[in-house]
Amino acid sequence: MNINATLIGQAIWFAFFIWITMKFVWPPLQRAMQERQKQIADGLAAGERAKADLIQAEHKAAAALTEAKGRATEIIALSEKRAAQIVEEAKTAAKGEGERIIASAKAEIEQEVFRAKEALRNQVADLAVAGAGKILMREVDAKAHTELLAQLKREL
């Protein structure tokens, strides 16, 4: 066992290697490892969050579906009601129209009857005048007797 200047050389080597480790090995590795740890933690947190989001979205979707179903039922009921109403309205309108048509037809018929009567009356009056004229063997002055004839027609 002989202690000599090798000791000084070894101490220098030792210090040099400590310096390398302290300067170039430990800090970058520690940084990388911490960063990775953080990334993993972030990833896990993101996964957790995504899971919660998914559950929430499912709840939302279910709620939306229920609401839509409710709305649909409502709309169907409403439309059925409306359809019944329309049918009812149509029936009422049709009935009114029919009555109106019937009334107008009746009026026309009456008018027609009246006109026919009028025509008939005229003819009868003419016939009577012609008959009277033949009987009297002379011309009746139609113009002179217009008033008489009109009175006669009215009486008929």
Q: Are 121 and 153 in contact (CB under 8 A)?
A: yes
* CA dist 91 → 82, 85, 99 (Å): 14, 10, 12
Does residue 17 belong to the site contacting other proteins (CB under 8 A)?
A: yes
- H-run or E-run covering 107: helix 26-136
Residue 138 DSSP code:
S
- 121: helix, strand or coil: helix
Tokens of 39: 């990334």
Site membership for other proteins, residue 43 (CB under 8 A): no
Q: Contacting other proteins (CB under 8 A), which of 3, 136, 137, 144? A: 3
Residue 44 C-beta: closest distance to other proteins, Å? 15
Nearer to other proteins, 24 or 114 (CB): 24
Q: Does 39 bind other proteins (CB under 8 A)?
A: yes
Q: Which is nearer to other proteins, 7 or 136 (CB)?
A: 7
Our finding on whether 11 is near other proteins (CB under 8 A) is yes
Residues that bind other proteins (CB under 8 A): 1-11, 13-18, 20-22, 24-33, 35-36, 38-39
